[in-house]
Amino acid sequence: MKLWNKGFEPDESVELFTVGRDRELDLKLAKFDVQGSVAHIRMLNSIGLLKNAELAMLTHELQKIADKIESGDFEIEQGVEDVHSQIELMLTRELGDVGKKIHSGRSRNDQVLVDIKLFFKSEITELAALTEQLFDTLIELSERYKDILMPGYTHFQIAMPSSFGLWFGAYAETLVDDVILLNAAYKHADQNPLGSAAGYGSSFPLNRTLTTELLHFETLHFNSIAAQMSRGKTEKTLSYAIAAISGTLSKLAVDICLYMSQNFGFVSFPDELTTGSSIMPHKKNPDMFELIRAKCNRLQALPNELTMVTNNLPSGYHRDFQLLKEIIFPALDELKNCLNMGNYMLQQIKINTNITDLSLYDYLFTVEDVNRLVLSGVPFRDAYKKIGMQVQEGTYQPNRTVNHTHEGSIGNLCNDKIKDKMSQRLNQFVIR
């Protein structure tokens, strides 16, 4: 069954090529298609295009379909083009001509748009929750290890003292920035396109404000062409948020892979969370984080990939948009998996609590000693030269005492402030 059927069937090879992965991916949209249809028929009833009895019959059947979706018994039958066709087919089988009335006043274009926007709102909410869980783990680790020093590096060279508290807290605060982009993606999706039809509205007296309220959108995409132009733009907005979170996860994974190596030895994990070698019996590899790194690096290409699909398209609908589902739907699943596994691994991380006691890290403390001289009254350039000459001559003996007090330093992590920032960002989500 095809919603556009006019008495002929396309060439089978054309149908296979154009349908693509829709039957598979549309299963993610099924419950949202039902939600959109329920709102649409209530609106049609309000403007006299459906009788009360017809509304009741359609609502009842749509609820039965919703129950099948919830139980996992819903499927898109062979020969049926997509989820929208499947649901209309099921209604028509049960209700005859009444089922055929459900499409009045809408196009598959705005029907798809509604489904996708509702789906994205749900997915973004889930991503925000998973990001918050990872954030909470990082803050907890930051507090637990706030007094444990670790080496800081610039240019891969030993630089200055850091701490595990500062390191964990850095990734926590970076996630706050990522949530800002998630929020922007949510707001972009939180606009109702239903009633824009194929992009040029309808001659029916549709009540688009009513469907906006029924579907719990914040507002309308008022201009019907603008509503259709949001196809692709909404996906790209979300892709930037996905890429941002992925960038944070990837950098964290790189750090951990580096710090797990024997040359660093800063962190480790229980044996069962590592993998081995087929010929080297000593190996305990960080495969989990290597895969997170690779997956998240690939996800950071998402905005560019979506841009390449949509960049040269004029206004109006084009079949190119179908490919966006094949790109972004799997990406959402990939990022959720990475967030879950990253959080799981971090909850079991082990810290080397004495790493900076090694003579290897003596030079970490040169700046501390320069600053001590400055605080005692020595001009900075003279203090810098004095410590520098000790390093050059091989006579430098570090004072490993560290006393940092300013906001965001080793001794003043400001984790309470970072938690407040995250709470403010998350509170901006008005979940509807």
Residue 116 belongs to some domain of the structure = yes
Does the residue 367 lie in any domain? yes
Which residue, among 286, 291, 282, has the nearest Cα to 259 in the 3D structure? 286
pLDDT at site 428:
83
Report residue 19's pLDDT band, with 50, 70 and 90 as the boundaries.
Answer: low
Lowest mean pLDDT of 105-119, 185-199, 265-279, name the range.
Answer: 265-279
Choosing from 103, 133, 163, the residue where a domain stops is 103
Report whether pLDDT(150) > 50: yes
The reply to whether 73 and 183 lie within a common domain is: no
User: Looking at residue 70, what is its pLDDT?
Assistant: 96
Active site residues: 155, 277
Residue 149's DSSP bridge partners are 163
User: Which phi and psi angles does 163 have, rounded to 5°?
Assistant: -145, 155
Q: Among residues 124, 134, 263, 248, which one has the least CA distance to residue 185?
A: 124
Residues 290 and 375 in one domain: no
Do residues 365 and 353 both lie within one domain? no
200 and 344 together in one domain: yes
pLDDT (tens digit, 9 = 90+) per residue, 226-237? 999 999 999 999
> In this predicted structure, what is the pLDDT of residue 24?
85
Of 103, 125, 151, at which residue does a domain stop? 103
Residue 373 pLDDT more than 80?
A: yes
pLDDT band per the 50, 70, 90 thresholds, residue 85: very high
Rounded CA-CA distance 189/234 in Å is: 6
- Do 257 and 333 belong to one domain? yes
**How much of the chain, in percent, has pLDDT values that exceed 70?**
95
* Per-residue confidence band for 5, with pLDDT thresholds at 50, 70 and 90: low
Return the H-helix or E-strand segment holding 149.
Answer: strand 149-154
Q: What is the pLDDT of residues 204-213, one digit of tens each?
A: 999 999 999 9
Average pLDDT in the chain: 94
pLDDT at position 429 is 73
Domain contains 99: yes
Q: Both 349 and 234 in a single domain?
A: yes
| CATH number for position 198 | 1.20.200.10
pLDDT of residue 53: 98
Is the predicted pLDDT of residue 390 greater than 80, yes or no? Answer: yes
- Give the residue among 194, 189, 192 at the shortest CA–CA distance from 237: 189
Which pLDDT score, from 0 to 100, does residue 356 have?
Answer: 96
Residues 418 and 384 placed together within one structural domain of the fold: no
Residue 20 scores a pLDDT above 90: no
Residue 214, in any domain of the structure: no
In this prediction, residues 321-336 reach a mean pLDDT of 96
CA atoms within 13 A on the CB side of 34: 21
Residues 348 and 369 in one domain: no
Is the per-residue pLDDT at 274 higher than 90? no
88 exposure class (CB count in 10 Å sphere: 0-12, 13-18, 19+): buried
Residues 16 and 155 in one domain: no
The 3-state DSSP composition of the chain as helix, strand, coil percent (nearest 5) reads 65, 5, 30
The mean pLDDT of 360-378, rounded to a whole number, is: 97
Closest by CA to 206, choosing from 88, 55, 45, 51, is 45
CATH classification at residue 64: 1.10.275.10
Tell whether 182 is covered by a domain: yes
If one counts the domains in the chain, the total is 3
Q: Are residues 308 and 350 in the same domain?
A: yes
Mean pLDDT lowest among 7-16, 174-183, 395-404: 7-16
4 pLDDT exceeds 50? Answer: no
| C-alpha to C-alpha distance for 194 and 213, rounded to whole angstroms | 12
Structure confidence at residue 289 (pLDDT): 96
Report which residue type is found at 393: E
Q: Which residues pair with 220 in a beta bridge?
A: 192
User: What pLDDT is stored for residue 278 in this prediction?
Assistant: 80
Together in a domain, 136 and 158: yes
Domain contains 61? yes
Tokens read off for 194: 């239903």
Q: Using the 3D structure, point to which of 61, 82, 103 is the last residue of a domain.
A: 103
Residue 116 to residue 123: CA distance in whole angstroms? 10
DSSP state of 300: T
pLDDT tens sequence across 159-184: 999 999 999 999 999 999 999 999 99
Query: What DSSP character marks residue 249?
Result: H
Residue 7 lies in a domain: no
Q: Does residue 135 share a domain with residue 85? A: no
Residue 414 belongs to a domain: yes
Tell me the residue range of the domain where 386 lies. Answer: 359-393
Max Cα–Cα distance, the chain, nearest Å: 95
Q: What is 327-381 written as a DSSP string? A: HHHHHHHHHHHHHHHHHHHHTT-EE-TTGGGSGGGGGGGHHHHHHHHHHTT--HH
- The pLDDT of 83-91, averaged and rounded, is 95
Q: What average pLDDT does range 244-257 have in this prediction? A: 98
Q: Is the pLDDT of residue 83 over 60?
A: yes
The DSSP output letter for 160 is: E
The one-character DSSP state at 27 is G
Q: Which residue(s) pair with 192 in the sheet?
A: 220
